[in-house]
Amino acid sequence: MTEHTHLESSATAVPFGEFRIARTEEGEAVVVEVAGDVDTTTAPALVQAADEALAEQPPVLVVDLTRVEFLASPGLTALLTIHRNAGTATAVRIVASGRATLRPIQLTGLEESLSLFPTREAALAGS
């Protein structure tokens, strides 16, 4: 598992303003789990982590935003960039169900462009 840390992290809770990315493999899928705020300073790290996963050409890349507390417009742009960078080789599935993540995606109309799922399990199953 590769972990990218923006600030010092704790094992459980993500303190306000802290950002963390963890990468795991579940079957043939790669999961990039994001915690904290995705904004101007952290969105590039999300794209970089996803690009590293996409370089392996997995059939599925799940971007799990369950632990994201704030999703700013650069974070939305990062999600679109990840989707574009995947091309046709990898299905990108976004886990977004909380108010902090799903609401900005819906307000901007991006739910039409992104494959959204309410849970990681649903994203892994593709349903």
DSSP line for 92-105: EEEE--SHHHHHHH
The amino acid that residue 110 corresponds to is L
Compute the radius of gyration of the chain from its Cα atoms: 13
Closest CA to 5 of 50, 26, 35: 35
25-83 per-position pLDDT tens digit: 999 999 999 999 999 999 999 999 999 999 999 999 999 999 999 999 999 999 999 99
pTM confidence score:
0.86
Q: What is the mean pLDDT of residues 83-110?
A: 95
Rounded Cα distance, 4 and 45, in Å: 8
Is residue 85 within 8 Å of 52, Cβ to Cβ? no
What's the average model confidence in pLDDT over 18-27? Answer: 94
Q: Share the mean pLDDT of the chain.
A: 89
Q: Does residue 124 register a pLDDT over 50? A: yes
The pLDDT of residue 17: 57
